[in-house]
Amino acid sequence: MIVGNGLIANALKKIDTEDYLFFASGVSNSLEIRSSEFEREFSLLKDRIEKHPGCRLVYFSTLSVNDQSKQESPYVLHKLKLEDYIKNNTGSYSILRIGNIVGNGGNPNTLFNFLRNQIFQGNTFTIHQRARRLLVDIDDVSKFLQTNDDHLNNQTVNFAYPYYFDLKEIVQALESRMQKTARYTETDEGDFYIVDFDETANNFFIGIDADQYLRDLAEKYI
């Protein structure tokens, strides 16, 4: 069973089964501060757990919980609260902390969508030179879940392509694919955080070059 109808939910349809409860209807805006939005997700999660006690719950969290600068943000605190609730109230679960998702549609403010739209519209935007981001193809999320089923039971796993892309790398890949020059300024700002990827996540991407992964994302979703 899939809860949700967004980017992640649509990608899970190919692996949907009655033995699993895929919860993909959470707060997706990391800047969200409204308690009503957090409570909506929490209430829905509790309701679905109670109604489907025999299913393994698959919950999608965020790699941002590893960012020490965001430990007090309402979004991160909310995600950690729900992770703890899941661990204490389900017999079987998988928590996938994912990076910046790239796919068709979804939130227009995700990194890839934002940069693509700015370039397409000819807008001038700012690149933070010190920023690095972890990307993941939405299709890799469902493939990873399907191929690592046994390992993921009652586990919390960090998942993204294990390379820290700088923003200029991403912009250049988009420029090449779109055949359009981006208009941007640069500032000596930005940061990133280190994520520990376990062997299963690293092995999933073995043999895939970072430059090729980025080019493939641009080719696939532009």
Does residue 166 carry a pLDDT above 80?
Answer: yes
What does the pLDDT look like over 48-107, one tens digit per residue?
Answer: 999 999 999 999 999 999 888 888 899 999 999 999 999 999 999 999 999 999 998 777
Phi/psi at 197 (5° precision): -100, 130
Which residue from 11, 86, 77, 92 is spatially nearest to 38, judged by alpha carbons? 77
Enter the DSSP assignment of 95: E
Count of residues in the chain? 222
Whether the predicted model's global pTM rises above the 0.85 cut: yes
Residue 110, pLDDT score = 86
Cα distance between residue 192 and residue 105, in whole Å: 25
pLDDT digits (tens, 9 = 90+) for 184-196: 999 999 888 899 9
Q: Is the pLDDT of residue 174 over 80?
A: yes
Closest CA to 59 of 69, 72, 46, 70: 46
Among 211, 219, 58, smallest CA distance to 141 is for 58
Identity of the residue numbered 221: Y
pLDDT at 149: 86
Average pLDDT estimate for 9-37: 90
pLDDT at residue 41 tops 80: yes
Instruction: Answer whether 57's CB lies under 8 Å from 24's CB.
Output: no
State percent of the chain over pLDDT 90: 82
CA distances from 176 to 93, 171, 173, 179, 180 (A): 41, 9, 5, 5, 7
Q: Above 90 in pLDDT, residue 123? A: yes
Over the chain, what is the mean pLDDT? 93
Q: What is the pLDDT of residues 199-219, one digit of tens each?
A: 999 999 999 999 999 999 999
The band of 31, judged by pLDDT with boundaries at 50, 70 and 90, is: confident
Tell me the β-bridge partners of 158. Answer: 97
Q: Which two tokens stand for residue 166?
A: 């700088």
CA–centroid distance for 25 within its chain:
13
